Amino acid sequence: MIELRGLQVENFSHPQDRASWTVVTKAPWLKKLMDWMMTKEAMYEMRTDYLGNAFEVRRADMPDLFDMVEDVCRVLDYQTMPRLFSRRSSLVGALVNSGENPILVFPDFILNNFDDDMLRFQIGRTITMLKANNAQIRTSVDWILKIINKIPGVGAVAVPVLADWVRKSRYTEDRGALLACQDEDAAMKALFRYAGLPRKYIDPKVYPEYISAYQQAGKIEGFSQSVMTAYRTEAWKNDRIVELFKWYSSGEYFDLIEDFE
């Protein structure tokens, strides 16, 4: 595994993520509000929940998981080792809570059902969230969405702007996750699994055909897309597959890795 010493999120961030963030920062009040919330440690809500309701795992409990998280931190050049928790959940993604002491929470479903390479992809995604400060920003966004959604007019304008950034930031996180596992097949396997494909049907040979079919027929565009995605904070799962596939197929990913070799 190539250690990406000196890696910056800007080295691999998705252009749509950057463009969307620029729109967010164009509303100075919104940016100010988010900055203020982050100083107020708005993250505490979920941390309280994890500490009271999840199970903190120690190195002695799960040495393999600790080694994996440490290794991902090393590869992505992220300095702080998070506290690790597990909890009962059928979610297929690890949760992350930022602040001074970051926390990763692993649903038992992924601990029991994911292969090591898929787990590494998931860990890579959460460490990218921490490295990019997305975890902290997103928690603030969640709070803001809760509040401004209740203000007629303001919510209608601001929510789509924030929701768009949340969706696009996923593309960057997926790229970071691929850099963490450095295995395109594992990354695609994790994303296909996330999209719902059962493990036994996941086959790297079908990726290009599936993606091309989706791009031609499945993608929602135009007015329908605007209406259906405006208030949605979760990126379309198939879009994530396509965006990551495009990144490594274009050679950009391999060029980046080469720069660190």
Residues making contact with another protein (CB under 8 A): 40-41, 44-45, 47-49, 51-58, 61-62, 86-88, 90, 108, 111-112
Mapped onto helix, strand or coil, the DSSP state of residue 85 is strand
One-character DSSP codes across 164-193: HHHHHHHHHHHHHHHHHH--HHHHHHHHHH
Of 41 and 203, which CB lies nearer to another protein in the complex structure?
Answer: 41
Q: How far is the CB of 87 from another protein (least distance, A)?
A: 5
CB of 251 to another protein, least distance (A): 40
Q: Which residue's CB is nearer to another protein, number 55 or number 231?
A: 55
User: At CA 56, angle to CA 55 and CA 61, rounded to 5?
Assistant: 105
Give the DSSP letter of residue 217. Answer: I
- CA pair distance 139, 157, nearest whole angstrom: 19
Minimum distance from residue 207 beta carbon to another protein (Å): 29
Closest approach of Cβ 226 to another protein, in Å?
32
Q: Contacts by 204-211 with C-beta closer than 8 Å and gap 24+? A: 207/241, 207/245, 208/245, 210/241, 211/241, 211/242, 211/245
Please state, in angstroms and rounded to a whole number, the distance separating the CA atoms of residues 92 and 6: 30
**Of 94 and 211, CB closest to another protein:** 94
Q: Which is nearer to another protein, 31 or 58 (CB)?
A: 58
Closest CB to another protein among residues 57, 206:
57
Q: What gap in Å lies between CA 243 and CA 181, rounded to an integer?
A: 17
Do 30 and 24 touch, CB atoms closer than 8 A? yes
- Least distance from another protein to the Cβ atom of residue 150, Å: 15
Least gap, CB of 154 to another protein (angstroms): 24
Q: Which is nearer to another protein, 52 or 222 (CB)?
A: 52
